[in-house]
Amino acid sequence: MKSNFVTAGLGLAAGAAMAFSAAPAHALTFGNTGTFSFESNTTVDFTFVLSKGMWQSSFGVYDVAANTLTKLLNELKPGYDPGSGDSKTNPSDWLGTCGKTVTTCSNSFTFLAGKAYQFFLTGSPTQYSSSSNTVFTYNGASTTFKSSGPTYNKSNTPILMTLTAPSNGALIRMNDAHSIDVDTNDFIVTAVAHNQPVPEPTTLMGLGAVAGSFLMSRRRKVSESTEA
């Protein structure tokens, strides 16, 4: 009997740990056309990376059917960091960073099942995500792009930047209304779904502690029964 209890306790801990570790990861995707939907309600965390646009902009979600805009990440005036400027004379090319141009650098949005959405970027005028002005990079892949507009260092090799998407999410790059440069670096964010969290190591350790407590309890009862 004692060995059966021990086996059962270890099986409980192992089975619980496997249940957590084997849980399928949620593959977040917005496709590549600019318009997307989800099969179930999905909450996504968005984090500002950087911006490279002259205009003061806001990034957010456009509900196609309802024709409503929800702003998620907003630039302060003038829309770029102090000291940044036009790419004709300044390689920073209207750089905006977290803490200076954008002070609230993360926000969440819940996409409702079956509804069509797009991303948008305000400016002059507002742009909506499409295959021509938005680039999606997924699941730990890297993307390399021009980090300054076409007028800076024009006769030489373009200045490039490489960014990597989250391992379980997306990197989103949008171009503003100045479409002649097609640099898709005017507003850059990451997106990660948070409705299927991965268990922390402490959670698995806690399961082990529960199993250990179970075993100790059974051992005491078996010992008391033997002595009696």
Is the pTM above the cut of 0.85? Answer: no
Strand order in the sheet with 187-193: 106-111, 42-51, 187-193, 169-174, 134-138
Tens digits of residue pLDDT in 121-151: 998 799 999 988 999 999 999 999 888 755 5
Residue 198 corresponds to which tokens in the numbers above?
A: 């991965």
Domain coordinates in residue numbering, the chain: 35-193
Q: Which amino acid is at 93?
A: D
Count Cβ atoms within 10 A of the Cβ of residue 168 and give its class: 0-12 exposed, 13-18 middle, 19 or more buried.
Answer: middle
Tens digits of residue pLDDT in 6-18: 344 444 344 443 3
Query: Quick one: which H or E segment has residue 162?
Result: strand 160-164
